C-alpha cells in the first residue's frame, strides 16, 4: 500500500511489517545509516536524508506526521569518525 503524506510517499509492506518514507523531490539514495535498531535513514551524495525505512513498524510508537512536520531532512544522522 502506498499513501502520500504532505507530499512524501509512504509505503507499507504488511508481510515484512516495514514502512518506507520517501521525501518529495528527493535525490537518489547512495548510502544508508542505522539511526536505531530497525530504523534506517537513506542518504543522498551530500549526506542529506532522502528517505526512511522503519522495520517492525506496527510495534513502534512512530509518529510519522510529527517526523515529517519537523522535517525528515532535519533528522540527526550519526556520522562515522573521520
Q: List the 39-43 sheet strands across, edge first.
A: 2-5, 8-13, 18-22, 49-55, 39-43, 31-36
Please report the pLDDT score of residue 73 as a whole number: 57
Q: Global pTM?
A: 0.71
Domain chopping of the chain, boundaries: 2-74
Please report the pLDDT score of residue 14 as a whole number: 92
Please report the pLDDT score of residue 53 as a whole number: 92
Please report the pLDDT score of residue 81 as a whole number: 47
What is the full per-residue pLDDT of the chain (82 aa) written as tens digits?
A: 555 556 678 888 999 999 888 886 778 999 998 888 998 988 888 888 888 899 998 888 777 666 665 665 566 666 654 4
Amino acid at each position: 500500500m502506498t499513501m502520500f503524506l504532505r507530499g512524501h510517499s509512504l509505503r507499507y509492506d504488511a508481510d515484512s511489517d516495514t514502512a518506507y518514507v520517501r521525501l518529495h523531490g528527493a535525490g537518489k539514495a547512495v548510502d544508508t545509516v542505522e539511526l536505531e535498531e530497525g530504523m534506517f535513514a537513506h542518504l543522498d551524495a551530500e549526506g542529506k536524508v532522502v528517505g526512511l525505512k522503519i522495520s517492525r513498524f506496527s510495534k513502534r510508537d512512530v509518529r510519522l506526521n510529527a517526523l515529517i512536520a519537523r522535517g525528515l531532512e532535519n533528522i540527526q544522522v550519526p556520522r562515522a569518525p573521520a
